[in-house]
């Protein structure tokens, strides 16, 4: 009999849910992560008493009561509601597009005035029957003002290309709200864990053996027979030595600064929608938790190209990459006793609630 039932590769959210359930069902598990900390991308670093979202701002939101009840077993959530702002040439607009945004853009007060204005703006582009790129698509959906002030520059920075060279399907529709409501999400449940995100993972992994600074590929050479099965939440193409080629990602670079002021921008998230400002957003972390510290910590986010070896953030799910993933998936299906899971194992952008859902489903199947 091998020492463990499961070798769990990764100490992120997917792995933590899987291993918690497996341990509770009496399985023997070892968790390893190549990073020096647990938590994967939801890890928060404590800087001057502020939980800094080191791998990008995270807001938990879900409509799934089962998932909400599950995470609430481990932490309590605060009442944070995501209400980002957009800064265009020094003027601030509320997001998502709602009556506050329309009022600031055009001075309209009623939903009817706002709808009429949007129709007037769109009518200028009515001649575009089949939008050939993202710019044309956006103009036919919202007209010039919203596109130029709030969409164009931000999208170009995110993708590192002019909007005229981006495919139209990136924007399928634009969610307009004709109410004065700045809550970004429509979900029933939303918040930030009191004590930060790392606490969720700490609680889930409570009493479970974890080795950080341990890369799977090195570890398995020395311990090939350590476990009956492996859960792998790293990159699927890396697992197979990139033998079919590398899947592409977009990366993000963060410039984090401690400032000697208690409140820098008065909001957790401010998007910079001009092309000329090099960063896409500034996150002021303390506002996620209504922090009262004397100092503040901000992170400027820069969207960047990704190369093998860099931190992979967003999968680029175009036709070519999806096809390549399908080929890797075929190899994965043949791999005996290895389960691939999580955002990197499935080459898919998952919000946290979807990761929990998927992990619960996977472990349930495993333990059945």
Minimum distance from residue 233 beta carbon to ligand FAD (Å)? 5
**Annotation says 35 is catalytic:** no
- Residue 215 falls in the annotated catalytic set: no
Residue in this structure with the two tokens 């009022």, named with its chain if needed: 103
List 45's β-bridge partners, or say none.
52
Of 13, 71, 139, 269, the one binding ligand FAD (CB under 6 A) is 13
Nearer CB in complex with ligand FAD: 153/342: 342
161 catalytically annotated = no
Question: Cβ(10)–Cβ(342) under 8 Å?
Answer: yes
Of residues 308-367, those binding ligand FAD (CB under 6 A):
313-314, 342-344, 350-353, 355
| Nearest residue to 39 via CA among 190, 191, 228, 193 | 193
CA distances from 295 to 47, 78, 256, 257, 262 (A): 10, 21, 13, 11, 5
Q: Binding of ligand FAD at residue 14 (CB under 6 A)?
A: yes
Whether 301 is a known active-site residue: answer yes
250 is annotated as an active-site residue: yes
How far apart are CB 25 and ligand FAD at their closest, in Å?
20
Please state, in angstroms and rounded to a whole number, the distance separating the CA atoms of residues 248 and 258.
33
Catalytic residue (choose from 250, 253, 275, 300): 250
Question: Do 346 and 357 form a contact (C-beta atoms < 8 A)?
Answer: no
Judged by beta carbon, residue 41 or residue 182, the one nearer ligand FAD is 41
- Is residue 281 part of the annotated active site? The answer reads yes
Q: Interface mask (CB under 6 A) for ligand FAD, residues 230-269, using x and -? A: ---xx-----------------x-----------------
Q: For residue 355, how many other CB atoms are within 10 A of its CB?
A: 26
Position among 7, 11, 105, 139 found at the interface with ligand FAD (CB under 6 A): 11
- Of the ranges 34-42, 64-72, 117-125, 129-137, which one interacts with ligand FAD (CB under 6 A)? 34-42
Q: Binding mask 39-78 vs ligand FAD (x if CB under 6 A, - otherwise)?
A: -xxx-------------x-xxx------------------
Minimum distance between the CB of residue 358 and ligand FAD, rounded to whole angstroms?
Answer: 8
Q: Are strands 91-94 and 85-88 parallel, antiparallel or unpaired?
A: antiparallel
3-state secondary structure of 25: coil
**Alpha-carbon separation of residue 167 from 73, 137, 316, 319, 360 (angstroms):** 43, 9, 13, 12, 35
Q: How many contiguous H segments (helices) and E segments (strands) does the chain have?
A: 13, 16
Q: Is residue 33 annotated as part of the catalytic site, yes or no?
A: no
Query: What per-residue string of b and e applies to 339-348 under the rule 16 or more CB within 10 Å gives b?
Result: bbbbbbbbbe
**Which residues form the interface with ligand FAD (CB under 6 A)?**
9-15, 32-35, 40-42, 56, 58-60, 215-217, 233-234, 252, 313-314, 342-344, 350-353, 355
Q: Which residues are known to be catalytic? A: 173, 177, 250, 281, 301, 349, 351
């Amino acid at each position: 009999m091998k020492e463990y039932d499961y070798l769990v590769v990764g100490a992120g959210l997917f792995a933590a849910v899987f291993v918690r359930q497996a341990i509770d069902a009496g399985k023997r598990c070892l968790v390893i992560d190549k990073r020096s900390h647990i938590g994967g991308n939801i890890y928060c670093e404590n800087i001057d008493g502020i939980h800094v979202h080191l791998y990008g701002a995270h807001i938990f939101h879900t409509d799934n009561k089962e998932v909400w009840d599950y995470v609430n077993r481990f932490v309590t959530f605060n009442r944070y509601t995501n209400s980002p702002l957009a800064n265009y040439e020094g003027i601030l607009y509320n997001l998502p597009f709602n009556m506050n945004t329309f009022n600031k853009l055009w001075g309209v007060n009623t939903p009817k005035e706002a709808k009429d204005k949007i129709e007037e703006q769109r009518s200028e582009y009515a001649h575009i029957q089949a939008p050939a790129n993202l710019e044309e698509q956006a103009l036919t959906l919202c007209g010039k003002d919203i596109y130029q002030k709030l969409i164009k520059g931000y999208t170009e920075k995110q993708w590192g290309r002019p909007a005229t060279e981006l495919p139209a399907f990136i924007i399928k529709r634009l969610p307009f709200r004709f109410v004065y409501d700045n809550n970004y999400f429509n979900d029933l449940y939303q918040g930030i864990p009191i004590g930060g995100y790392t606490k969720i993972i700490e609680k889930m992994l409570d009493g479970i053996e974890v080795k950080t600074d341990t890369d799977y590929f090195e570890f398995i050479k020395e311990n090939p027979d350590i476990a009956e099965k492996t859960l792998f939440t790293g990159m699927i193409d890396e697992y197979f030595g990139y033998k079919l080629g590398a899947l592409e990602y977009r990366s993000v670079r963060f410039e984090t600064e401690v400032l000697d002021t208690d409140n820098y921008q008065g909001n957790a998230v401010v998007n910079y929608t001009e092309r000329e400002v090099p960063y896409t957003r500034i996150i002021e972390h303390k506002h996620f938790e209504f922090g009262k510290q004397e100092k503040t910590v901000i992170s400027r986010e820069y969207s960047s190209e990704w190369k093998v070896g860099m931190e992979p953030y967003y999968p680029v799910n175009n036709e070519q990459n999806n096809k390549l993933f399908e080929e890797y998936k075929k190899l994965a299906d043949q791999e005996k006793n290895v389960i691939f899971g999580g955002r990197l194992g499935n080459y898919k952008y998952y919000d946290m609630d979807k990761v929990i859902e998927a992990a619960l489903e996977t472990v349930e199947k495993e333990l059945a």
